[in-house]
Amino acid sequence: MNIRTTALAAVRGLGLALLAMVGSLVLFILMVVSISLTPVVIGVVLVPLVARLARSHANLRRRLAYRWFGVEIKEPYRPKPHFQGGLIGALERYRWVMMDRATWRDLLWMICDATAGFTLAIFAFSLPFYGPYGWVLALGVWRPIVHSGGNEWYTFVPISDQATATIAGLVGFVYAGLGLWLTPKTMHLHSRLTAALLAPTHERELELRVARLTETRSDALDSQAAELRRIERDLHDGAQARLVAMGMSLGAIEHLLERDPKKAKVLLSEARESSSKALTELRDLVRGIHPPVLAERGLGDAVRALAMASPLQTEVSAEIPGRIEAPVESAAYFAVSEILTNAAKHSGARRVWLDLRHENGMLRIVITDDGQGGAAMSHGTGISGIERRIGTFDGVLALNSPVGGPTMVTMELPCELSSPQP
């Protein structure tokens, strides 16, 4: 039992109770009235407008459920299509809203929130303060109430003199204890009720998953095509050009070998240098496709190698008791590599902490730097591109980067360990 936690839960309970009355109840009434006006056409225009307000209100409650109670509730709404103008567009909007099951679930949630949700929230707010009210009565506040003709009761105790006021004060200790114990639990129950009514149904979850996989599949194909183009360009501009130059040099050496051995020796030296550079470029290219250390030693050691090559002071903590599936391992490696590169280029950081662990079928990577912060998904395509790439494997990315720093990037990828770490 924690007084601060209880006080915070009580204040949040008051806020949710007000939102239930001002938002859920009013919007429920407006929605029902709008739908009932459909036969006289007015409802065709009103329903989409009220539904948009209701969805904004529901999304606010989803965000509060996550921020206040850590309960994540996904949006279940169907994507908004393109509508025509005029009366046909109004009919299309009306049909889009009414055919979406999430609209009806929002309607059910609003009435439940205005009744059961409000009751839980106001109970969570009132209970911690009811105990101290008994103490206030015991300290003498009962006198002006009784002397002015008031008929005060404290639960089942009628307050008429100091003795009954003292009993009320003692009962207040019971309420104070109950408030400390029950208030946080009540608010947790409130958040579970909200999640049960606002979360997507199983069918909608599957639809959202298919849509996400379709989107990430497209991103993966684009990324793969871009990578093939890069490899082709690097081969054409680098190693291939050097090998062609070597062939020409060897041809010239063949002709000069007897006529001008001194010049042939110079060309031979240049050809040897070109072969060395071509070999280095080919190694770099292979490293960019699939680093040998990743293939041989696994993700933990590969990330340690990245840390050693980074210009930032980087500490790595890795607890991966086996080998991860190769595609996930590769995606995680290049995601870490890109984030480290971004940190070195843009964050102004001096130190980076990397934590990798595999728990409960999930690879979790946390990268924290002491830079100036201010990174955002909307700034360029770096972080958002990483998010899309790991989304191919059902991975998720969270970014926390307040202005002034620090920046923390958390990635989670579901995967199983295929073999013990060598």
Instruction: Please say whether the beta carbons of 323 and 417 come within 8 A.
Output: yes
Identify the band that residue 104 occupies on the pLDDT scale cut at 50, 70 and 90: very high
- Using only C-alpha atoms, what is the Rg of the chain? 33
Measured distance CA(17)–CA(24) in Å, rounded? 10
Domain ranges, ordered by start, for the chain: 3-200, 204-287, 292-418
Kindly report which listed range (50-64, 312-326, 387-401) carries the lowest average pLDDT score: 387-401
CA distance 58 to 64: 10
Flag whether the pTM goes above 0.85.
no
The first and second tokens of residue 167, run together, are 């009993």
pLDDT score of 47 more than 70: yes
Total residue count of the chain as it appears in this document: 422
Using CA atoms, how far residue 44 sits from 36, 94, 266, 405, in Å, is 10, 6, 86, 49
pLDDT of amino acid 118: 94
Q: What is the pLDDT of residues 307-331, one digit of tens each?
A: 888 889 999 999 988 888 888 888 8
Per-residue DSSP letter, 22? I
Residue 418 has pLDDT above 80, yes or no: no
Domain 204-287 fold: 1.20.5
The Cα–Cα gap between 191 and 17 comes to 13
Amino acid at residue number 195:
A
For residue 374, count CB atoms less than 10 angstroms from its CB and return exposed for 0-12, middle for 13-18, buried for 19 or more. middle
Measured between alpha carbons, how far is 84 from 247 in angstroms, rounded to an integer?
65
Q: What is the mean pLDDT of residues 27-52?
A: 91
pLDDT at 110: 95
Cβ contacts of 144 within 8 Å, gap of 6 or more: none
User: Same CATH topology for 204-287 and 292-418?
Assistant: no
Residues of 295-304 as b/e, b for ≥16 C-beta within 10 angstroms?
Answer: eebbbbbbbb
For residue range 214-223, what is the model confidence (pLDDT) as tens digits?
A: 777 777 777 7
Q: Which fold has domain 292-418?
A: Heat Shock Protein 90 (3.30.565)
- Going by C-alpha positions, the residue among 296, 305, 301, 354 that lies closest to residue 326 is 296
As a whole number, mean pLDDT of residues 349-374 equals 90
Question: Is the pLDDT score of 171 beyond 70?
Answer: yes
